[in-house]
Amino acid sequence: MTIATHTPLQSATGPGGNAPQRLLAPHAWVEGRWQAEVLLEIAPDGSWGAVTPGVTAPPADAQRLPGPVLPGLVNAHSHAFQRAFAGLAERREGTHDDFWSWRDRMYGVALRITPDELQAVASTLYREMRAGGYTHVCEFHYLHHAPGGTPYPDRGAMARALARAAQQAGIGLTLLPVLYERAGFTQPQLRADQRRFATTVDEVIAMRDEIRSWHLPGVDAGVAIHSLRAAQGESIAELARRCADDPGPVHVHIAEQTGEVEDCLAATGQRPIEWLCANVRLDARWHLVHATHATPDEIEAVARTGAGVVVCPTTEANLGDGLFDLPRWLGAGVPLSIGSDSHVSRQWPRELQLLEYGQRLVHRRRNVAAAPESGEPSTAQRLFQAMLQGGAAAAGRRKVGLVPGAPADFLVMDTTVDALAGVPNENLLDALVFATDVPAFAQTWVAGVRCTP
Our answer to whether residue 430 is catalytic in this structure is no
Burial class of 288 by CB neighbour count within 10 A (0 to 12, 13 to 18, 19+): buried
- Exactly one of 77, 144, 226, 290 is catalytic; name it: 290
Evaluated on CA atoms 292, 298, 299, 303, the torsion sign reads negative
The strand pair at 134-141 and 73-78 is best described as parallel
336 DSSP β-pair partners:
309
Give me Rg for the CA atoms of the chain.
Answer: 21
Report CA-CA distances (Å) from 403 to 24, 139, 338: 15, 25, 21
In 143-257, alpha helices (H): 157-169, 201-213, 233-242
Our answer to whether residue 290 is catalytic in this structure is yes
- Exactly one of 220, 321, 325, 341 is catalytic; name it: 341
Beta-sheet strands, E only, within 118-171: 134-141
Distance CA 359, CA 325 (A): 8
Distance CA 40, CA 43 (A): 10
The answer to whether 222 touches 208, Cβ cutoff 8 Å, is yes
Distance CA 324, CA 328 (A): 9
> Which H or E run contains 115?
helix 115-131
Residues classed as catalytic: 290, 341
